[in-house]
Amino acid sequence: MQDDGRGQMPKVGGIPDSMSDVLSLVRMRAEFVCANDFSAPWSLSFRRPVSHFHIVERGSAWLKPDDGNAIRIETGDLVILPLGAGHVLCSDPALNPLPADQALTNATTRHGSAYAFGGGGAQTHVVCGRFSFAGVLAPKLLKVLPALIHIEAQSGRPLEWMKLTSHFLVEETRYPKLGSAIAIARLLDLLFVEAVREWGARNPRNLGWLSGLADPAIGRALSAMHEEPARRWTVEALADLAGLSRSAFAARFSEVVGQTPLRYLAAWRLDLAADQLRAGVARIGEIAATIGYGSEAALTRAFKAQFNTTPAAFRRAGPTSDEKAPSGWIGADRA
């Protein structure tokens, strides 16, 4: 997701979008994607503590989380395990699984970049992949997401977004060509955003602080803070934007977001600062000015209180291992 350099996404049709502002600082990064042609009986275990996804291209399978019951997944279904939960993907939950790394190492390749594995019975085609989150808001988002998101293709209403995105993702993965790496990265970005939206629409009471983004009144205030982080916002001004009295706004904001408006604003400014420091372009004093701090010293004090390090030290540390761009990840890594 590309922002305008301040953590703010462009308006679509002039409408501010606080959800996109937040997700732009999550920065999902695809690490490995592969197409698989499984034939029964087959069973793979995924144990790496990273986020995974599976799209059933054709056929059906079982997915069993380590700490939950097996679920049936059918053609067109999407499963995302954002918290890195261990799980088994198989034709029959009674089978003993092989580690995915081992199984794919021994698999043969066919049809472009697809791996073939199994006993030669009923066919199931699945695109599997893993991803990580590099952005500063990722930990906050992961706190409210479930261990497993299952978006069913046959859910009682058409999900054209999933059908189209999955189709293009499958094609780019199964038949890679010039530009496939960036195409797959963008498609996964879109798939994740849409899956979170769909999950949130189906589970509005489980959104935690994200529920503020869906609340019309609170959403207007959030969008305003995202759009103008340097402005000297007051609770009164935000309440006017929300169309509520000061007391009603303050109470409602704290209820749905989990913190007061000005505490949220302070945390948002520091998240923006961390994101810009990671980018390594602007000077610390310039960052301070763009997010509402009067001086570099003021930003440094607030930043150290929030992140237990100074902006300069945070920038020098550079990206973490999870943030470094992977290379050759389409069909090159077996996991």
Q: Which helix (H) or strand (E) element contains residue 333?
A: none
Residue 269: helix, strand or coil by DSSP? helix
- One domain for residues 222 and 123: no
Of the candidates 141, 275, 155, 136, the one whose C-alpha atom is nearest the C-alpha of residue 207 is: 141
Last residue of a domain, one of 204, 239, 271: 204
- One domain for residues 281 and 312: yes
Count the domains in the chain: 2
The boundaries of the domain holding residue 263 are 210-317
- One domain for residues 197 and 219: no
* CATH code of residue 136: 2.60.120.280
- One domain for residues 232 and 260: yes
DSSP state, residue 12: B
User: Quick check: 331 pLDDT over 60?
Assistant: no
Give just the sign of the alpha carbon dihedral 128, 132, 138, 143. positive
- One domain for residues 66 and 137: yes
Give the mean pLDDT of 274-280.
87
Backbone torsion region of residue 59, taken as left when φ is above 0, otherwise alpha when ψ lies between -120 and 50, otherwise beta:
left
- One domain for residues 228 and 195: no
User: Quick check: 157 pLDDT over 80?
Assistant: no
- The answer as to whether 12 is a domain residue is no
- One domain for residues 186 and 231: no
User: Quick check: 118 pLDDT over 70?
Assistant: yes
- One domain for residues 34 and 183: yes
pLDDT band with cut points at 50, 70 and 90 for residue 73:
very high
Backbone torsion region of residue 265, taken as left when φ is above 0, otherwise alpha when ψ lies between -120 and 50, otherwise beta:
alpha
- The answer as to whether 269 is a domain residue is yes
- One domain for residues 165 and 246: no
Q: How far apart are CA 136 and CA 319, in angstroms?
A: 11
- One domain for residues 300 and 258: yes
pLDDT band with cut points at 50, 70 and 90 for residue 2:
very low
- One domain for residues 131 and 38: yes
Q: How far apart are CA 83 and CA 65, in angstroms?
A: 12
pTM equals: 0.75
User: Quick check: 327 pLDDT over 50?
Assistant: no
Q: Are strands 71-74 and 78-81 parallel, antiparallel or unpaired?
A: unpaired
Residue 15 has a pLDDT of 44
* CATH code of residue 297: 1.10.10.60
- The answer as to whether 83 is a domain residue is yes
% of the chain surpassing 90 pLDDT: 50
pLDDT per position as a tens digit, 161-175: 888 888 898 889 888
- The answer as to whether 259 is a domain residue is yes
